[in-house]
Amino acid sequence: MNAFDLYIIGQQLINGLVLGATYGLIAIGYSMVYGIIGMINFAHGEIYMVSAYVTALVIALIAYFGGLPVGAAIMIALLFTMLITAILGWLIERVAYRPLKNSFRLAPLISAIGVSLILQNFIQLAQGARNQAMPTLLEGVLRIGGEEQFMQISYHQLLILVAALVSMLSLNTLIGKTKFGRSCRATQQDPVMAEILGINTQKVISLVFVIGAVFAAIAGTFVTMNYGSFDFYIGFVTGIKAFTAAVLGGIGSLPGAMLGGLLVGIAESFFSGFVNTDYKDVFAFGILVLILIIKPSGLLGHPEVEKV
Amino acid sequence: MIKHAKASLVAIFLTMSLGAGNIFASDTIKIGIAGPHTGNNAAFGEQLWHGSEKAAADINKAGGINGKKIELVKGDDACEPKQAVNVANRLVEKDNVVAVIGHFCSSSTIPASEIYNEAGVLMITPASTNPQVTDRKLRTILRTCGRDDQQGAIAADFLMDDLKLSKVAVLHDKDTYGKGLADAFKARLKERNPKFKEVLYEGLTRGEKDFRALVTKIKSVGAEAVYFGGLQSEAGPLVRQMRELGIDAPFISGDGIVSSDFVTAAGGANATQGVYMTFSAEARNISAGKKVVEEFRTAMKYEPEGYTLYSYATMEAIAAALKNNKKHDGKTLATWLENNPVDTVVGTLAWDKKGDLKKSNYVIYRWDKQGKYAELDKKGMTQK
């Protein structure tokens, strides 16, 4: 078998796309919050982690009471997880950001790191530090190719891609076409002016946190099902990668976040698959550095205009 | 004499600062239990803790150590080398333990052992198998498990003699333990066949869960078997993603996966079924430990898997050394243990001058479809 045959390249592309879609979904949360208030929400990775636990809990409850088809069970788990993480996102803004709004710039950053540690330790204490398993709900794969050589995508992975696509499109409509989206864009461009013109910027900021959290929940639900296991620590590594993706795509830009996610995912996957797994992170972060040197605001980011 | 004077001076100071009562209550003997009580490998910390705790309770019930009760002090290193050093310093300086059972991960045990050795505190690890743990010839450091060069060799022999395969992908987690084990495995294959060349040699990153790119690579190089040096939290997703991609090549690993958490991390026994593993002979079957195993299962509702009974045995060894020596400094205790075999729940343990067991007893296990592991009966093996 040739390492460079087409099926293998196709398979690595699938691996990278699915991984990248996950990063992208989480990166959106980082990017939205940054776009509106110009700060990084470092507790965002932990929202992803919490959503994995909520999903597992709901699935376990559904399995216990029984009687639901798989599709409905997944939908209920997803909706409930989104609800819980939405509340969590709102709470984080309320507790760690709003009281520090007029403080110096680093303060909310530190408080967000604090929230992230609290969430991590709380889950560890409440749920135990051990691995948790998630039953496989969707069995089966789509295969292209022959008996020996083929590429495949499991239904779980397909679900992640579809979810990323659908949520990206609906977010674009939300920001581009609705009244709320207009308030968002206005707040992003000039919060003071927006406030004067009658936009409740505080509400906008709250909602942005909520939307970011909901996207992390979508990732958390589907990714947990895909890997079959999770622990209280998954938010950290994934959070860092998603943050990289957001910066790479141009932090503040939503299509940029998804593009950055896909790029990081595919870069990791191809480097790992065709060069060396040991150095895949070095490569991914190397790309980040290179792009930031050439285009400091990221791929799709707008250069910061000095406000007078 | 000077030491005593110093101790009493310290005692006076402490009495002054902490209030009386604290110091003179030293009718207990403190023993540190250091390992990953939290973090990804907390399942191993649980084995360590349950084993040592039960042993201490049993010894205390039987009258303690010359009348003094054993008091356990928990030290959590989360398998992080930096945290392990902090834990070691705390156990030595603040808690004044006379001995330490632990640590678990070799990458934690090695830096921590320097501190115990310097402070003259006995440290026995029930689980750290990296050769460097004892090869640095530290005076007060022993272990109640085998070494990775023995463990890797057994796996390599198994691959060549029983599975009769040679196209093997060797993977590790870039950590002291995992990489050391993978290298030991490779070295043995090279030793037996100088022309041997693995088809893949790569390191994954601890803490990650997506190894699909690596798994696709395993497929593309056509590996007939996969050897992994590392821990259960990465081995689980790795083997699951291999099976998902239709790779049914045998998966062999070491004592880093000897916990039911391996099955959980893989999302169920479907993925782990048929996985081979090297580990010391099944302690739950040794007749000396029958009663203790029974008590674990009935009274504590805890299955003493993996290193649980080895931790119990380590506590017994320490207790024996403490009982038979007036001086409780690390050097005296270690020297005594090196000269006197101790009867424990896992059989009689005897150490050499380096602190290794004189006899290691690695065997091959296989995980079944119930998510349990059992010693492999090689006679029943049918090979392609």
How much is the average pLDDT of B97-104? 95
Band (B16; pLDDT cuts 50, 70, 90): very low
> Nearest Cβ partner of A129 from B39, B219, B237?
B39
> Nearest Cβ partner of A12 from B202, B205, B216?
B216
Q: Residue A269 and residue B212: Cβ atoms within 8 Å?
A: yes
B137 SS3 class: coil
Q: Is the dihedral of CA B262, B127, B78, B302 positive or negative?
A: positive
Note whether residue A302 is domain-resident.
no
Which is higher by pLDDT, A33 or B27? A33
Query: How much of chain B is helix, strand and coil, in % rounded to 5?
Result: 45, 20, 35
pLDDT value for A3:
47
pLDDT value for A144:
87
pLDDT value for B17:
46
Band (B20; pLDDT cuts 50, 70, 90): very low
Q: Domain with A164 in it: what CATH number?
A: 1.10.3470
> Nearest Cβ partner of A228 from B42, B213, B266?
B266
Contact A125, A118 (CB under 8 A): no
Q: Residue A277 and residue B203: Cβ atoms within 8 Å?
A: yes
Residue B2: pLDDT over 90: no
pLDDT value for B27:
81
How much is the average pLDDT of B158-187? 95
Q: Which residue has the tokens 């640590």?
A: B103
Contact A38, A290 (CB under 8 A): no
Residue A159: pLDDT over 90: yes
pLDDT tens by residue, A169-186: 999 999 999 999 999 999
Q: Residue A273 and residue B217: Cβ atoms within 8 Å?
A: yes
Q: Residue A131 and residue B265: Cβ atoms within 8 Å?
A: yes
Residue B9: pLDDT over 60: no
Domain, as residue range, for A275: 13-294
Residue B21: pLDDT over 50: no
Q: Residue B244 and residue A231: Cβ atoms within 8 Å?
A: no
> Nearest Cβ partner of B237 from A152, A229, A281?
A229
* Helices A44-65 & A70-92 angle (0-180, nearest 10): 140
Band (B6; pLDDT cuts 50, 70, 90): low
**Least confident range of B115-119, B175-179, B280-284:** B280-284
Q: Percent of chain A scored above 70 by pLDDT?
A: 97
Residue B15: pLDDT over 50: no
Q: What tokens does B315 get? A: 């506590």
ipTM value? 0.90
Residue B382: pLDDT over 80: no
pLDDT tens by residue, B264-318: 999 889 999 999 999 998 888 888 889 999 999 999 999 999 999 999 999 999 9
Q: Percent of chain B scored above 90 by pLDDT?
A: 83
Q: Chain A: nearest CA to B76, how far in angstroms?
A: 12
Touching check for B194 and chain A: CB below 8 Å?
no
pLDDT value for A301:
83
Note whether residue A172 is domain-resident.
yes
CB neighbour list of residue A163: distance below 8 Å, 6 or more residues apart: A21, A25, A218, A222
User: Given the DSSP bridges, would you call strands B141-143 and B122-125 parallel, antiparallel or unpaired?
Assistant: parallel
CB neighbour list of residue B187: distance below 8 Å, 6 or more residues apart: B149, B152
pLDDT value for A148:
78
> Which is nearest to A18 in space by CA: A135, A212, A151?
A151
Touching check for B206 and chain A: CB below 8 Å?
no
pLDDT tens by residue, B225-242: 999 999 999 999 999 999
How many beta-carbon pairs below 8 A join chains A and B?
117
Q: Percent of chain B scored above 70 by pLDDT?
A: 92
Touching check for B265 and chain A: CB below 8 Å?
yes
Structural domains in chain B plus CATH codes:
2-145+307-351 (3.40.50.2300), 149-282+363-380 (3.40.50.2300)
Q: Residue A227 and residue B207: Cβ atoms within 8 Å?
A: no
CB neighbour list of residue B44: distance below 8 Å, 6 or more residues apart: B35, B36, B104, B127, B259, B306, B307
pLDDT value for A137:
83
* Helices A179-189 & A6-37 angle (0-180, nearest 10): 70
pLDDT value for B31:
96
Residue B12: pLDDT over 60: no
Q: Least CA distance to B222: which residue of chain A?
A: A1
pLDDT value for B5:
55
Q: Give the ranges where chain A is alpha helix by DSSP (H).
A: 6-37, 44-65, 70-92, 106-127, 155-177, 179-189, 191-196, 201-227, 234-249, 254-274, 280-294
Burial of B60 (0-12, 13-18, 19+ CB in 10 A): middle
pLDDT value for B3:
53
Note whether residue A89 is domain-resident.
yes
Q: Residue B267 and residue A136: Cβ atoms within 8 Å?
A: yes
pLDDT value for A1:
47
> Which is nearest to B207 in space by CA: A227, A257, A51?
A227
Touching check for B38 and chain A: CB below 8 Å?
yes
Residue B13: pLDDT over 70: no
Q: Least CA distance to A270: which residue of chain B?
A: B213
Interface test with B, best of A123, A156, A157, A229 (most B CBs within 10 A): A229
pLDDT tens by residue, A257-307: 999 999 999 999 999 999 999 999 999 999 999 999 999 889 998 776 554
Interface test with A, best of B46, B209, B242, B305 (most A CBs within 10 A): B209
Domains in chain A, number? 1
> Nearest Cβ partner of B261 from A124, A131, A152?
A131
Note whether residue A81 is domain-resident.
yes
Residue B378: pLDDT over 80: no
From chain A, the residues in CB contact with B264 under 8 A are 130-133, 229
**Torsion angle (degrees, nearest 10) of CA B243, B244, B246, B247:** -40
**3-state DSSP of B347-366:** EEECECCCCCECCCCEEEEE
B267 SS3 class: coil
pLDDT value for B285:
87
Residue A133: pLDDT over 90: no
From chain A, the residues in CB contact with B219 under 8 A are 1, 8, 11
**Least confident range of B23-32, B138-147, B263-272:** B23-32
Note whether residue A300 is domain-resident.
no
Q: Tell me the residue type at B132.
A: Q
pLDDT value for A17:
96
Q: Residue A276 and residue B202: Cβ atoms within 8 Å?
A: yes
Q: What tokens does B197 get? A: 């060349």
How much is the average pLDDT of A11-29? 95
How much is the average pLDDT of A70-95? 94
Sheet arrangement for strand B69-76: B69-76, B28-35, B99-102, B122-125, B141-143
Q: Residue A228 and residue B220: Cβ atoms within 8 Å?
A: no
How much is the average pLDDT of A80-102? 94
Note whether residue A96 is domain-resident.
yes
Q: Chain A: nearest CA to B182, how far in angstroms?
A: 14
pLDDT value for A135:
82
Note whether residue A117 is domain-resident.
yes
Calculate the average pLDDT of chain A.
90
Residue A308: pLDDT over 60: no
Interface test with B, best of A7, A19, A22, A131 (most B CBs within 10 A): A131
pLDDT value for A157:
93
User: Given the DSSP bridges, would you call strands B225-229 and B200-203 parallel, antiparallel or unpaired?
Assistant: unpaired
How much is the average pLDDT of B115-139? 95
pLDDT tens by residue, B319-370: 999 999 999 999 999 999 999 999 999 999 999 999 999 988 899 999 999 9
Note whether residue A180 is domain-resident.
yes
Touching check for B167 and chain A: CB below 8 Å?
no
